[in-house]
Amino acid sequence: MSKKVNRNCKGEVILNIKDTEEYKSSIKLLNKITMNKEFVPYEEALVLKELGFDEQCLALYDLDGNITIEFVNWENAINTKDNYLISAPLYQQTFRWFREKYKLSCSIELTDNSRHYYFDFTIYDSKDRDWNDEDCFDSCKRLYSDGEYSTYEEAELECLKKLIGIVKTK
């Protein structure tokens, strides 16, 4: 079935931006970046919005979870208070937000058990001191990861989920 072609009153073909090669190649590259997991996934982005994350982002999700990068100047970058859009923050933005807003910082560590290496993480709560921590008397409260992760990206996502869990239970 042939695709319907839109024409203006002069009979000229009106190209939908989504049909242009520029758009398609941009989406391809965006997907590559997204696949590199630089943006927080949709589910977590949604929860971050509920938690009050409202910083400017490079990209956004629609309600179906599709990611779109906005071709706007930086000064006008997205700050989604709109109910139908969800900011797609970078991981680095999100971790900074937790650190600045909730005093929760994290460290994703490379660990080796001599046979293979894996990643795990520690979350430091600098608001709550843990006076019973034997390692360091005046210590931040430490929360450790539940598992071992074979990639940095897995550990990063789990760390983010844990941060969200901590804030939601506060």
Among 54, 72, 165, 168, binds another protein (CB under 8 A): 72
Do you know the residue count of the chain? 170
Tell me: does residue 90 bind another protein (CB under 8 A): yes
Task: Detail the DSSP E strand segments found in 4-116.
Answer: 6-7, 13-14, 59-62, 67-69, 85-88, 104-112
73 interacts with another protein by CB under 8 A: yes
Task: For residues 129 and 150, give the distance between their C-alpha atoms in angstroms, rounded to a whole number.
Answer: 31
State the Cα–Cα distance between residues 43 and 3, nearest whole angstrom: 34
For residue 94, give the 3-state DSSP assignment.
Answer: helix
Show the site string, 44-63: x = touches another protein by CB under 8 A, - = not. -----------xxxx-----
**Any contact of residue 33 with another protein (CB under 8 A)?**
yes
Told to check if 105 binds another protein by CB under 8 A, we report yes
Of residues 112 through 131, those in contact with another protein by CB under 8 A are 112, 114, 117, 124, 126-127
The stretch near another protein (CB under 8 A) out of 2-10, 12-20, 73-81, 157-165 is: 73-81
103 binds another protein (CB under 8 A): yes
Ramachandran region of residue 37, left (φ > 0), alpha (ψ -120 to 50) or beta? left
Number of amino acids touching another protein (CB under 8 A): 44
Is position 26 an interface residue for another protein (rule: CB under 8 A)?
A: yes
142 DSSP β-pair partners: 124
Q: Within 13 Å of residue 12, how many CA atoms lie on the same side as its CB?
A: 4
Q: Please identify, using beta-carbon distances, which residue of 30 and 85 lies nearer to another protein.
A: 30
